[in-house]
Amino acid sequence: MAEIQLKNVSKRWGSFVGVDNFDMTIADREFLVLLGPSGCGKTTTMRMIAGLEEATDGDIVIGGRVVNDLDPKDRDIAMVFQSYGLYPNMNVYENIRFPLKVRKVDPATHDERVMRAADMVELREFLHRKPAELSGGQRQRVALARAIVREPNVFLMDEPLSNLDAKLRVSTRAQIKNLQHELKVTTIYVTHDQIEAMTLADRVVVMKRGVIQQVGTPTEIYDRPANTFVAGFIGSPAMNLMEGTLSGGTFSGDHVSISGLSGPDGPVTLGFRAEDAAVAETGPQAEITAPVYTMELLGDATMITVKAGGALVSVKASKDYRIEIDEPVGLNIPAEICHLFNQKTGARIDV
């Protein structure tokens, strides 16, 4: 069993706080993604779990054992980094086998374990090659196989796909998801890419400046963001956010008026997803009327963006919809798909 508990874990360097009071339990066999922009503390959190950074405060518990004072090699974890870290003078077989030699695992078991790991990442035909003869995607798969062969209790993955091109990222992402399902190993995955987080995770931890903003399933975080930071970070495109005033159930702002909302009167930030709104005829029936700022053809849809006051607002239209830049367009924003946030704190307003 490899349940991981982080009990009020913090990391400080002098007056700088890298991670502030990180407190949560990661279930056995769970795939948890730490998500946030650069400098938010996600990699520092992972490095503390690995033992590569010492926690300033708090306890790290793996499988019921406090590991704060244990060396990385004694924590029964395997790490996959953004840089592949392969030995250039060894072929793929020896790179995968290397952790077994270092840990003095019975040599009689090496071949079977290397072959099993190589098969899981579809590398058997490349075992004789040196890293220099492999593509970026193949090298990343060698790094994955080298972690798998250890048969650890915990996988830690630090932005393992960021060096790959877009097509390889999609295929390798699917491979990682399938591997975790097969191996049933607790996995913590660090990324700044919200699409990776949404597609891979059982749960996502969104971080900002060392502080947890929200923890939940990808669906929970997408459908009910806890604040404007999460709303503006999750989604492609991110949630539209507009500042205005709520009075008697009607939101009013630059170029926008939406009725039928519930919430306290006063200044608020209104949010809605591009796919939940619709292009409409201009006129009084449209909640937003503004000139087109840009039109993007996505293949399965057309993204229309308008500039309403100081905000850029995007809406998905049908794939054959066409309109010229600067032409006025109306947007329908049903009240039931809107989110309201406190304009001062950014926190979600639930009514």
pLDDT for residue 14: 94
pLDDT of residue 282: 66
Chain center to CA of 285: 38
Model pTM score: 0.89
- What is the pLDDT at residue 284? 59
Q: Which tokens in the block code for residue 86?
A: 């392969």
Strands, E, within the chain: which ranges? 4-13, 16-26, 31-35, 57-62, 65-66, 77-80, 154-158, 186-191, 203-208, 211-216, 240-247, 250-253, 256-258, 266-272, 278-280, 288-297, 302-308, 311-317, 328-332, 339-342
Quote the pLDDT of residue 43.
Answer: 94
Nearest Cα neighbor of 101 from 74, 109, 182 is: 109
Give CATH superfamily name and number for 4-228: P-loop containing nucleotide triphosphate hydrolases (3.40.50.300)
Query: What is the three-class DSSP state of 149?
Result: coil
Strand, helix or coil for residue 73: helix
Q: Which amino acid is at 230?
A: V
Q: Write down the pLDDT at residue 84.
A: 76
Which residue positions in the chain have pLDDT lower than 50?
A: none
| Class of domain 229-342 (CATH, top level) | mainly beta
CA Rg value for the chain:
24
Question: Domain locations in the chain?
Answer: 4-228, 229-342
